[in-house]
Amino acid sequence: MADTADIEGLSVEDAAEEVSRLSAEIRGHDEAYHRRDDPTITDAEYDGLKQRLRALEAAHPELIAQDSPTQTVGAAPAEGFEKVRHRVPMLSLGNAFDDTDARDFEARIRRFLNLGAEDPVALVAEPKIDGLSLALRYEDGRLLEAATRGDGTEGENVTANARTIDTIPERLTGTVPEVLEVRGEVYMSHDDFAAMNAAQAAKGGKVFANPRNAAAGSLRQLDSRITAERPLKFFAYSWGAVSALPADTQSGVLDFFREAGLTVSPAAKAVSGIEEALHHYRAIEAERATLGYDIDGVVYKVDRLDWQRRLGARASQPRWAVAHKFPAERAQTVLDAIDIQVGRTGALTPTARLRPVTVGGVVVSNATLHNEDYVAGRGADGQPIRDGRDLRIGDTVTVYRAGDVIPKVIDVDLSRRPKGATPWAMPDRCPICDAPAVREAGEAVRRCSNGLTCPAQAVERLKHFVSRGAMDIEGLGTKQVEAFWTLDWVREPADIFTLRSRFGPDGSALKRLSSLEGWGERSADNLFAAIDARRSVPLHRLLFALGIRHVGETTAKLMARSYGSWSVLREAMSAAAAAVDDPDNEHRQHLLAIDGVGAVLADAVITFFADAQDMAAVDRLLKHVTPEDEVATVAADSPVAGKTVVFTGKLEKMSRDEAKARAESLGAKVAGSVSAKTDLLVAGPGAGSKLKKAEALGIETLDEDGWLDLIGDA
C-alpha cells in the first residue's frame, strides 16, 4: 500500500503543483510505453507514480483533471495505422498494492451497492498478463477488425497482423452473438522470447528488452509478414460492444469464450469473496516463475454482470475491477546531493540525487524528497517519520520503487553515516532568481516570493499552458518551451500565437525556426499548424491552461459546464470580486454550489479574475484564441437533462455515490449545495439544512422513491 502520510499535510497549492508535475511525467511514460513500445521505467515504478497521483487527487478532488493520467488510458495512436474508434471505451484498471487495498476494493463495492455484510460478493480472479491490449470485433462469428487500445477511445487498426496469431480464430465456433467484441492481451512466452531474440541477434536484427516490448513491437509492424514470423499468443478476458451477452456472469462469459474457440487463462477462477480471491492471489504468486509468461499481479472482477452495470466506471477505471499488483522491491544506495526544483507556483522541492543503483533491472538515480520537513524526519503532522532520522548528503539510504512517487527514499542507515555529515538546510532564497523563499505559517513548503518575475515559475506556467490536458499544442513540449524562453521568443501564452507574425512575412518564420538545432522545415511547419489548430479551444481547456491555482482539469470542466461561456464566467467572477467583502454574495455561492468546489478553490478563482496583471495577460491571449461555449451532452429522453440536482440525507435503495453517478449519466448537473440555481433536491431521512434552504427558496423536493419514479428506475 502506498506511503502517503505526507499528503494530508500538503496545502492545496503544493498538491496542485505535485499533481501537475506527476501528470506530465506519467504522460511521458505513457507515450514511451503505448506508442513507442519502449518503456523507460518498470511497471512497478509506473504504478507508484500513478498511486501517488491518485492519493493526491483523493485528498484534493478539485485537482482531478478530465485528462489526468488517472482519468485517461494509454496514449494517442501512433502514426502509420488507420485509426479505429472504440464503440465502448477500453478502460484501465485501478491498483491494489496489498491485502488492505484489496479488502478496501470489496468494501467500496458494498458501500456503492448498499450491500449488507451478509451479502456475498462473488469475484473472478485471473492473472494480469503483461502484454498489449487488443480488441477483436467478430460479426456473425467472423473476425472483421482488430484494434489496439490506443488512448482508450481510439486505437490502431492491426487486423492484418492479428490474423497471423494462431490463438486468434478467424471464425468462432458454436452459436455466437451477431456482434461480439472480444478483448484480451497479446503476449509472448519466455521460451519463445528467448528463441526469437537469439535468432534476431544471429542475423544482426533488433534484440528486445523483454517479452512485453517484443509482443507490442511485433503486433504493431506495418508489414504483417514480420508479425507472422513472431511467436505471439492471445488470452481473452473481457468484451466491448456486443449485441447480446451469452451469460449473466463474468465467469460464464469466460466459459463461453472457451467454447467458442478462444484461449482464456487457465488460472482464471471464480471465487466466493475477497478472502478466497487473496488465497488465489498467493497461489498464483507462488507459481509465477513457472507460468512461462510475464504477469504483474492478479485482477479481481465482480462476477455478476448486473452489478458491473450498476457499479459502472469512474473516469477511466471501472468500479467493478481492480488489479492487485505483486510487491515492489527495495535497494540501498548513497545520497550524493540534494537539489532544489522550483515549480510554477514557486514551491521549492528538494530532490535527491542518488548514486545510480539497479533495482529489479531498473537504474534509479533520483527521487523526490517532498519538502524540508520530510528531509528532517518530520511528517506533515509534526510527528517523527523514520523514527526522526534526518537525511544528509553522503548517507546510505533505502529506495523503494512502488506505492508512492517512485523512487522514494524511505529510510537511512545511521551506522553508515559519514563522519562530519551535517544536517541539510533548505535554502531561504530561490536558487533561480535569488528572491526570498518564504514558508508561511501552516504551509509545508517554502515558496519563491518573486511570482512570475521568477523565470522558473514563468517557464513552468508556460509548460503547463501547452501541456496535453491544457492547450495540447503538439510539438511544443518542455524542451521547446525552455528554448523559446531562452531565445526571448515566448514569455507569456499570447506570444505563442504571434510567433509566426513576429518572425515576419513570406515564410521567414518557417526559415528562422527551421534553422534551429533539432528543427527542420517540416517540424517547424507542423508546429505553426498545431498552434493555429488551437486558436479555437473548448472553454474547459482554456480554464485549465490558465494555471489558476487549485483548478484541475475536472474542476475546469465542471466550471465550464456550469457557466457555459467565457463571457458569462468572466462577468460572474468579476461581480464576485467586486463583492469580495460579502462572502455570501450570489456569484460566490453559485461557484461554491458546483459539486467538488470548496471555499479555498472558489476564492482562488475569484482572486485570479480580480488580478489586473493576470487578466491583462488573458486579454492579450484572447485576441488570438477563441474559447468555445461548453455544450453538455445529455440523454435525449432524460427528464433531468440539464437540471441541477442536489442529494441530501440518507438514501436507502442505493448509495449516494450510485445516485450521483446515475444522475450524471442522465445529463444532470450534481451540485454539493443548494442555491437559487438548484432545480431539484432529493432528500432522504435525516435531511437537514439543505432541505430547509430548498423549501425556503421554493425548490422542488422529492424523496428517494419520487426520484426513482422520475428517472424510471422504480
Query: Which residues are annotated as catalytic?
Result: 128
Strands 94-96 and 321-325: parallel
Which has the closest alpha carbon to 308: 253, 235, 268? 253
List the end-to-end C-alpha distance of the chain, in Å, as a whole number.
Answer: 40
Distances (CA, A) of 438 to 209, 428, 434, 450: 46, 7, 12, 10
Tell me the C-alpha distance between 301 and 249, whole Å: 10
Contact 450, 430 (CB under 8 A): yes
Contact 402, 325 (CB under 8 A): yes
Strand order in the sheet with 123-129: 94-96, 321-325, 295-302, 123-129, 269-271
Identify the three-state secondary structure at position 182. strand
- What b-and-e string marks burial along 177-215, b requiring 16 or more CB atoms within 10 Å of the CB? bebbbbbbbbbbbeebbeebbeeeeeeeeeebebbbbbb
For 314, the enclosing helix (H) or strand (E) is strand 313-314
Identify the three-state secondary structure at position 435. coil
Give 160: exposed, middle or buried? Use CB within 10 Å, 0-12, 13-18, 19+: middle
Give the residue carrying C-alpha cell 456475498: 120
**How distant is the alpha carbon of residue 315 from its chain centre?**
9
Tell me the C-alpha distance between 565 and 694, whole Å: 27
